[in-house]
Structure 1
Amino acid sequence: MNPSPLPSGPLLLRCRMLLAHARAVPLRDAGVLIEHGTVVRVAPFAELADGVPADRTTELDGVVLPAFTDAHSHLRALPLGEQGVADTDLETWVVRLTGTTALDSYDDALAAAVALVTTGVTTVQAIHHTFAGADMYAAGVRAVASALTEAGMRAELAVGITDRAEFLPDPPSAAWPGPAPEPRSLAAPVRGVPPRDLPDLAASLAIPCPGVRVGVAPVAPQWCSDEALDVLRQCAEAGMRLHTHLLESRYQRTWLGGSDGGGDGGSDPVSRLDRHGLLGPGLSAAHGVWLTGPEIALLARRGVTLVHCPVSNLRLGSGDASVRSWLDAGVNVALGMDSQHTAAADMFAEMRAALAAAERAGGPLTPHEVLAMATEGGAVATGHGGRLGRIAPGFRADLICVAAGTTDAEVDADPVERIVCGAAPADVTHVFRSGRPLVAAGEVYGRASADAALARLRAALAADREARTRRLGALAAYEEPLRGLLARTEA
């Protein structure tokens, strides 16, 4: 079932409890009046009921709050464990990705997007990255955008670009302990779109998909030459948003062996982005685990958003980001799941992981701060600050209802603490994006299409199982030498 059309008349939501934003005082029996996809009034339900027909009123028996934003995703529908890729350190894991089965972009994005909706996410920021030529790259971006539209989501779709070695430090030959890596593509993959052609590719992607905007992604600064970063600045100057991975692991600061690939002295990834004019409110950066204090202060001054990915950081051994120091420095912080689910996407589990990571890092966060990251912080990260992340007049009507419980104690408890610390996707009873229901009384629009897409994806995995096993087995021979090389590079 596809999402219903945008309501043509007013819609009144009667909320058993309303949480207008992460730090708001909860309101009982509140009304939210929506017209043309936008909230026009929030008031006690009794004040709004007389002006709206009963058949335009929906009762929500739970806590109504702003919908979530997943500010860093790769739109993978299936856990990588189903491909035989186990958790390990980030650098080894990235190499293992080269042996996985290529999946249909549309099916992968559709199933991933519908799963996001079921956990209360209506906006996603995703990197689409491939080594295909320009025509195939553009076709892939359009397929992903079409799938996001069918799922009813709002999206920032970042077209990824790299032109330096992603899988092994570049060049690895002098320091590599043992035979040169084969296939050579690990050290220098063949790329179908050189950096100079990126502006034309981006300009060609005027996506006719409602709610989907195309941006650009220097997939990580250490994987981009100076030429590539200059080209990306041109895209930013033309109005495109930027999204990147930043210092996800301790090795990324010196990934290029003391040279930044541009011939000007081996500066760190943050300095390189700043030197090329890429640090600003139009940039969001995921992970940031290994940022220093001065770098955090610089990002705050430039208005960059940092996207915290606690589950991914834990699973890939990257460490715990110092999010407390980010917030204290004045950085806008969002939350991203990084498509690192073990079963299904779960924003509630991600919020709890953020609390746990902050405790381990020695800078605790409150449930209210974490909920703000998943709502208002994500809105800023995706260029929707002041339009998403709150339930207030003038904001888009992106909101969810989470079951409030049945006992008086459950209903009277702090709804933020209860939701962040105890809720699950199964508790999401309703999801609205711009007033359009994507989940209604537990029924998920698009579920049948997503299930069919999942079946096709799993059939593709089954057909490629033997070949994939051989590819992953061959890659395993490079894991220990890679770790040795990285250890010497770091030293």
Structure 2
Amino acid sequence: MTRLLIKQGTFVTIDEQFSVFQGWLAVENGQIAAMGEGEVPQRESESATEILDGSGLLFMPGLINTHGHAAMSLLRGMADDLVLQDWLQNHMWPTEAKFTGDDVYWGSALAAVEMIKSGTTTFVDMYDHMQRVAEVTETSGLRASLTRGVIGLCPEDVQKAKLEDAIRFAREWHGQANGRINVMISPHAPYTCPPDYILKFVEAAHELDLPMHTHMSETLAEVEQNVRDYGCRPVEHLDRLGMFSRPTLVAHAVHLNDEEIALLAERKVAVSHNPISNLKLASGVARVPDLLKAGVTVSLGTDGAASNNNLDLFQEMTTAALLHKGVSGDPTVVPAVEALRMATLYGARSLGLEGAVGQLKVGLKADIIAVNIAQAHFVPRTDYVSHLVYSGRGSDVVHVWVDGKQLLRDRQLTTLDEEKIMAEAELCYRRLRA
């Protein structure tokens, strides 16, 4: 039985109090089996079948990306510097309508390469042809919460077929890949799904006992449309439809008032904050300090690579920590330690995975990344949490494990053929644009 021993490393545990220590950690059966400060006990050295010298490395929980559309990696750079509705309706949706299952596979594989190499070990994905995304997840070794995103602006028979597809995907894939794949139920957004259609998704989520995920209040125009169409703002609208009777994760939540923040906190709705995508599309700045103060779980997402334009959660942490200082005029809001929690512990909490991932703790799954701190931008060794958030970047990641299986070793992927994936993704893009 394989027992990995990491010795002489620096470890960041990401618990509520936070702990940074020099020491060792052992992995067995996909879990963190033991850990401690200082020298390795003799019994640990004797029981190890593989030993990694952690000198010059910082070990921390893998990052958790709580909102994205992996296959949109194929559309990176295709239509930049546009407002959301123009970007979606005139560029993204027409091109995405041409996507085949193979396009989704290679686009998602390209995203998997990027995520692994920048330290993401768990991701949320909302898209079509989701069985192909699940195949990539299974092959790559990543952990994921996957969901068939459904836009309901279509005839009733098409709506029915899409809902059935979402339910079928959930039944087939929830709990697969040795438990690394979970499934959520996802009407795309209140402005793309009629109320009676959303009700059907809520019913399905109850029947399947699954959480829900949707886009919400991303732009002011969308909020105003919701008021015109339904007489209330999106938070109240979704609450009336019963969505928040299920564990729910909403993406963006940029335009909220005080009453909505209070209701999200009361209903225990989690928010995926996507600061770079929101800035690039000029959608606005979410009230993250107020959400956190109210007790709302706020995690981090990149959104798709077409609106970011990368999947580097280190960059997302930096932006989240800096953005809210700038707009509030208060340098104490979203400190580095909170930004790091948003990318790890709070991400796990928002996906119902707290107590499984998001921390370095004995008994939790061994979803671990190693960051090279033997570099100029990590010196002097004053505060490693500060360095990770304000100085770190995805390219600093040298090793990645999920469930104790190594997916990245010395910057080289172990489960995916990076060269082939990049070539196939380029061919997919050329066909889509032909």
**TM-score, scaled relative to structure 2:** 0.89
Tell me which residue corresponds to 2:125. 126
Deviation at 1:71? Answer: 0.4
Tell me which residue corresponds to 1:422. 391
Residues 122 and 398 of structure 1 are in contact (CA less than 8 Å); yes or no, is this contact kept in structure 2?
yes
Comparing 13-22 with 402-411, greater Cα deviation is found at 402-411
Measured against aligned partners, the alpha-carbon deviations of 1:250-275 in whole angstroms (never above 9, x if no partner) come to: 01113257123xxxxx2221112111
- Aligned letter for 2:238? L
**Pair 1:38-2:31 in alignment:** yes
2:257 to 254, 274, 292: 292
Tell me which residue corresponds to 2:204. 235
Residues 321 and 357 of structure 1 are in contact (CA less than 8 Å); yes or no, is this contact kept in structure 2?
no
Matches within 5 A, 1:251-400: 251-255=221-225, 258-260=228-230, 266-280=231-245, 282-340=247-305, 344-362=310-328, 364-400=333-369
- Aligned letter for 1:379? A
Tell me which residue corresponds to 1:71. 66
Deviation at 1:56? Answer: 2.1
- Aligned letter for 1:75? A
| SS of corresponding position for 1:113 | helix
Q: Percent identity?
A: 26
In structure 2, the CA distance between the partners of 1:88 and 1:19, relative to structure 1 (3 Å rule), is: same
Deviation at 1:202? Answer: 4.4
Measured against aligned partners, the alpha-carbon deviations of 1:58-115 in whole angstroms (never above 9, x if no partner) come to: 1223111111000001003636354x31221111111121232525111111111121
- 2-structure distance, mates of 1:128, 1:157: 8
In structure 2, the CA distance between the partners of 1:409 and 1:453, relative to structure 1 (3 Å rule), is: closer
- 1-structure distance, mates of 2:162, 2:240: 18
Tell me which residue corresponds to 2:83. 89
- 1-structure distance, mates of 2:394, 2:414: 15
Deviation at 1:25? Answer: 2.9
- 2-structure distance, mates of 1:60, 1:254: 53
- 1-structure distance, mates of 2:239, 2:33: 40
In structure 2, the CA distance between the partners of 1:247 and 1:200, relative to structure 1 (3 Å rule), is: closer
Tell me which residue corresponds to 1:157. 146
Deviation at 1:199? Answer: 6.8
| SS of corresponding position for 2:191 | helix
| SS of corresponding position for 2:343 | helix
Tell me which residue corresponds to 2:112. 113
In structure 2, the CA distance between the partners of 1:385 and 1:146, relative to structure 1 (3 Å rule), is: same
| SS of corresponding position for 2:209 | coil
- 2-structure distance, mates of 1:9, 1:464: 45
Comparing 290-299 with 50-59, greater Cα deviation is found at 50-59
Aligned CA RMSD, in angstroms, stands at 2.5
In structure 2, the CA distance between the partners of 1:344 and 1:259, relative to structure 1 (3 Å rule), is: closer
In structure 2, the CA distance between the partners of 1:365 and 1:270, relative to structure 1 (3 Å rule), is: same
- 2-structure distance, mates of 1:406, 1:354: 24
Deviation at 1:204? Answer: 4.4
Measured against aligned partners, the alpha-carbon deviations of 1:214-269 in whole angstroms (never above 9, x if no partner) come to: 22111112222222222122222131121111100001113257123xxxxx2221
- Aligned letter for 1:302? R
| SS of corresponding position for 1:107 | helix
**Pair 1:459-2:424 in alignment:** no
- 1-structure distance, mates of 2:162, 2:423: 36
Tell me which residue corresponds to 2:218. 248
Measured against aligned partners, the alpha-carbon deviations of 1:409-455 in whole angstroms (never above 9, x if no partner) come to: 8262200110111112221111111111111122222342x431221
- Aligned letter for 1:151? S
In structure 2, the CA distance between the partners of 1:49 and 1:283, relative to structure 1 (3 Å rule), is: farther
In structure 2, the CA distance between the partners of 1:43 and 1:58, relative to structure 1 (3 Å rule), is: same
**TM-score, scaled relative to structure 1:** 0.79
In structure 2, the CA distance between the partners of 1:408 and 1:366, relative to structure 1 (3 Å rule), is: closer
In structure 2, the CA distance between the partners of 1:110 and 1:189, relative to structure 1 (3 Å rule), is: farther
In structure 2, the CA distance between the partners of 1:420 and 1:393, relative to structure 1 (3 Å rule), is: same
In structure 2, the CA distance between the partners of 1:200 and 1:157, relative to structure 1 (3 Å rule), is: closer
Gapped regions of structure 1 (runs ≥ 5): 1-7, 130-139, 166-187, 261-265, 467-491
Deviation at 1:463? Answer: 3.5
Matches within 5 A, 1:3-18: 8-18=1-11
Tell me which residue corresponds to 1:182. none
Tell me which residue corresponds to 2:172. 205
In structure 2, the CA distance between the partners of 1:76 and 1:464, relative to structure 1 (3 Å rule), is: closer
- 2-structure distance, mates of 1:412, 1:155: 34
In structure 2, the CA distance between the partners of 1:78 and 1:128, relative to structure 1 (3 Å rule), is: closer
Residues 277 and 302 of structure 2 are in contact (CA less than 8 Å); yes or no, is this contact kept in structure 1?
yes
- Aligned letter for 1:123? T
Measured against aligned partners, the alpha-carbon deviations of 1:451-481 in whole angstroms (never above 9, x if no partner) come to: 3122122123224434xxxxxxxxxxxxxxx
- 2-structure distance, mates of 1:158, 1:43: 38
Tell me which residue corresponds to 2:405. 436
Aligned positions, number: 419
In structure 2, the CA distance between the partners of 1:329 and 1:464, relative to structure 1 (3 Å rule), is: closer
Matches within 5 A, 1:139-218: 140-164=129-153, 191=158, 193-194=160-161, 197=164, 200-202=167-169, 204-206=171-173, 208-210=176-178, 211-218=180-187
- 2-structure distance, mates of 1:409, 1:222: 45
- 2-structure distance, mates of 1:223, 1:190: 16
